C-alpha cells in the first residue's frame, strides 16, 4: 500500500538554527499538509498546499515557517530560526482529496 514517507525520523537542532523536514507524499495525491503534535497533545494543523501554493495556514504557521515542493516528489517544511517551543512531532499528510494519509513523523528536538 502506498505510504507517506518522512525524513529524518529524528532531528536535533540548536535553537536559532534552520531546519528542513522532508516528506514524500503518495504519488498520485494532489493535496499536501503539515501538522504538528507537541508531546502528549492533539495533532494541530499548520499548512496545506495545492497546485504549488499555500491553500490555508494556521496561526501557528508564522513567518518562521515556509513550505516548498522543490520537485515532483518532495514536499518540505522549513523552520528558519528554531525556538524551544518548536520541539514537537511534525507530520506530513497527503490526500487526493480525502482521506488524508499521514507519515510517521519527524521528531524535532530543539536544544
Partner 1 sequence: QQQVKQSPQSLIVQKGGISIINCAYENTAFDYFPWYQQFPGKGPALLIAIRPDVSEKKEGRFTISFNKSAKQFSLHIMDSQPGDSATYFCAASYLLLSGNTPLVFGKGTRLSVIA
Q: Which residues bind partner 1 (CB under 8 A)?
A: 4, 31, 33, 35, 41-45, 48, 50, 55-56, 58, 91, 93, 95-105
Residue with Cβ nearer partner 1 (14 or 98) = 98
Query: What is the smallest separation between the CB atom of 31 and partner 1, expressed in angstroms?
Result: 5
Residue with Cβ nearer partner 1 (81 or 109) = 109
Q: Where are the beta strands (DSSP E) in 8-81?
A: 10-13, 19-24, 31-37, 43-50, 53-57, 65-68, 75-79
Partnered with residue 78 across adjacent β-strands are 20, 66
* Alpha carbons 39 and 17: distance in angstroms, whole number: 21
Query: What is the smallest separation between the CB atom of 103 and partner 1, expressed in angstroms?
Result: 5
Query: What is the smallest separation between the CB atom of 16 and partner 1, expressed in angstroms?
Result: 28
Residue with Cβ nearer partner 1 (31 or 65) = 31
Residue with Cβ nearer partner 1 (103 or 108) = 103
* Alpha carbons 10 and 21: distance in angstroms, whole number: 10
Query: What is the smallest separation between the CB atom of 83 and partner 1, expressed in angstroms?
Result: 23
Copy the grid coordinates of residue 15. Answer: 535553537
How many CB atoms lie under 10 A from the CB of residue 13? 16
Amino acid at each position: 500500500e502506498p505510504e507517506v514517507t518522512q525524513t529524518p525520523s529524528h532531528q536535533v537542532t540548536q535553537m536559532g538554527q534552520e531546519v528542513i523536514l522532508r516528506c514524500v507524499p503518495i504519488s498520485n495525491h494532489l493535496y499536501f499538509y503539515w501538522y504538528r503534535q507537541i508531546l502528549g497533545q492533539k495533532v494541530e494543523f499548520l499548512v496545506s498546499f495545492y497546485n504549488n501554493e499555500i491553500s490555508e495556514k494556521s496561526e501557528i504557521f508564522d513567518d518562521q515557517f515556509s513550505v516548498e515542493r522543490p520537485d515532483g516528489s518532495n514536499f518540505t517544511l522549513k523552520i528558519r530560526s528554531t525556538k524551544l517551543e518548536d520541539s514537537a512531532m511534525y507530520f506530513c499528510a497527503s490526500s487526493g482529496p480525502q482521506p488524508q494519509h499521514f507519515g510517521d513523523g519527524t521528531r524535532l528536538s530543539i536544544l
